[in-house]
Amino acid sequence: MIQLNGYGWRHAGRRAWAVRGVDLHIDAGERVLLLGPSGAGKSTLLAAVAGLLPSDSGESEGELDVDGRAGVVFQDPQSQLVMSRAGDEVAFGLENLAWPRERIWPRVEEALARVGFGYPLDRRTSELSGGEQQRLVLAGALAPRPDLLLLDEPTANLDPAGGELVRRALSSVPTMVLVEHRIERFLDLITRVVVLSPGGGVRFDGQPSVLTGRLGAQLAAEGVWVPGHPMPHRPAAGEPGETLAAYKDVAVRRGEALVVTGPNGSGKTSLALTLGGLRAPLQAGVVVTAWGDRPHRWRPKVLARRIGSVFQNPEHQFVTSSVRSELELGGTPVARVTELLVRLRLEHLAAANPFTLSGGEARRLSVATALASRPALLILDEPTFGQDRRTWVELVDLLASLRDEGHGILAMTHDPEVVHALADRTVAL
């Protein structure tokens, strides 16, 4: 079904190849887990197989052949939402494939039920949380019954219940290529594991059982998510200090990491935006901070010096054409820019366009931009999204260090490992 011979792709304006030297054959009926550290080219390879790398956006080499019709689910669900209502979103693909009208809507309802989407067909897609949008996108990909399903972190924005529904939905998909950092729930579905090497080519291609042996331990040491390797715990070095920001029953203090959990749609992102001063409270109540109340009325430069925000979708806060320019925005000193590039392992990408970064690289850049003005309070929505094991540990270590230096950390997450490793206190919405 898929044949790659020496395949490579380089984004326009980049010196380094995103993926290169890939020789791979995948037959119909195989369920392949695609692994590799952040930046190894997993997302790029999926986009190539899906036919979504136009020739005017970069340079390719080698051969790539796909026999069959592919459905795809991206890391960022908003990047593939095209309709304003949920039912129309799922029907869109069927209409483009000229399905008979009488078959479309029963199929739409069936696909939505498979992924546990509990809203009416006329629910506006702009009113959905990130996890709810992810379920909707998956329903849209499943509805036309593609020959091949390509999935890039399909459960990254989902609560545990939503992740289990996705696993069940995928159990009936005959052929798929899956990129997923948290792989435990999918191991019983996988028939084959392919590991990409950051230097190019395929490092390993074989049975999933290898992940429990010596190679699994090596991969974990090199930054690949492998089951059975617990994450380190980073408790606070001291007692928390003054309250930096509070809204209703949620307050975050200096020298504390507060982690907020809850199912999709419970309001975690809304709470992050409200406490971060990026919008007025939607309900009764006032945001009170150590610098005064109603931060949504402050001037942007004042807000950025006091409260830094990291969005659920990193690309939503990129506004320039290079990684270095993102960090220089607002007059950040050169020494601070260099420090952040090194600390977040982005120095080799300083000239790269932010929109060509991998999911993990984009997340680290979004954290770096929020840290540029040294805010006292840092608010992060799904901070570990898209990270490999190594960069996950480095990011959590960075947040723990900032907390121990006296910053306040507020993280919204579905990642239970973040709760275990970082949380001094938790709030469940």
The CATH code of the domain that includes 321 is: 3.40.50.300
- Does residue 309 share a domain with residue 171? no
What is the predicted pLDDT for the residue at 282?
83
Confidence of residue 129 (pLDDT cuts 50, 70, 90): confident
What is the predicted pLDDT for the residue at 196?
92
- Does residue 158 share a domain with residue 11? yes
**Is residue 155 one of the residues assigned to a domain?**
yes
pLDDT in tens, 220-240: 888 888 887 888 889 998 999
306-319 mean pLDDT = 89
What is the predicted pLDDT for the residue at 314?
85
- Does residue 303 share a domain with residue 204? no
Radius of gyration, CA atoms only, the chain: 22
Among 164, 192, 222, which residue terminates a domain? 222
* Mean pLDDT for the chain overall: 90
- Comparing 414 with 157, the larger pLDDT belongs to 414
Domain hosting 383: range is 243-428
- Does residue 146 share a domain with residue 256? no
pLDDT in tens, 393-406: 888 998 999 999 99
Sequence-ordered list of residues with C-beta below 8 angstroms from that of 300, at least 6 positions apart, any chain? none
- Does residue 249 share a domain with residue 217? no
68-79 mean pLDDT = 87
What is the predicted pLDDT for the residue at 145?
92
**Is residue 232 one of the residues assigned to a domain?**
no
- Does residue 338 share a domain with residue 370? yes
| Residue 38 reports pLDDT greater than 80 | no
- Comparing 132 with 95, the larger pLDDT belongs to 95
**Is residue 15 one of the residues assigned to a domain?**
yes
Q: Which residue has the tokens 């607002």?
A: 330
pLDDT in tens, 327-372: 998 888 999 999 999 988 899 999 999 988 877 788 889 999 998 8
What is the predicted pLDDT for the residue at 140?
95
Confidence of residue 75 (pLDDT cuts 50, 70, 90): confident
What is the predicted pLDDT for the residue at 403?
95
- Comparing 407 with 200, the larger pLDDT belongs to 407
Among 222, 253, 285, which residue terminates a domain? 222
CB-neighbour burial class of residue 304 (10 A; exposed 0-12, middle 13-18, buried 19+): buried
**Is residue 238 one of the residues assigned to a domain?**
no
pLDDT in tens, 168-182: 888 888 899 999 877
Q: Cα 146–152–156 angle (5° rounding)?
A: 125
Confidence of residue 274 (pLDDT cuts 50, 70, 90): very high
| Residue 157 reports pLDDT greater than 80 | no
Among 191, 222, 253, which residue terminates a domain? 222
| Residue 422 reports pLDDT greater than 90 | yes
- Does residue 247 share a domain with residue 210? no
131-151 mean pLDDT = 92
Confidence of residue 289 (pLDDT cuts 50, 70, 90): very high
What does the alpha-carbon distance between residue 346 and residue 14 come to, in Å, rounded to a whole number?
14
- Does residue 312 share a domain with residue 214? no
Alpha helices in 10-74 (DSSP H): 42-49
- Does residue 218 share a domain with residue 249? no
Dihedral sign of CA atoms 283, 162, 85, 411 in order = positive
For the chain, report the end-to-end CA distance as a whole number of angstroms.
Answer: 44
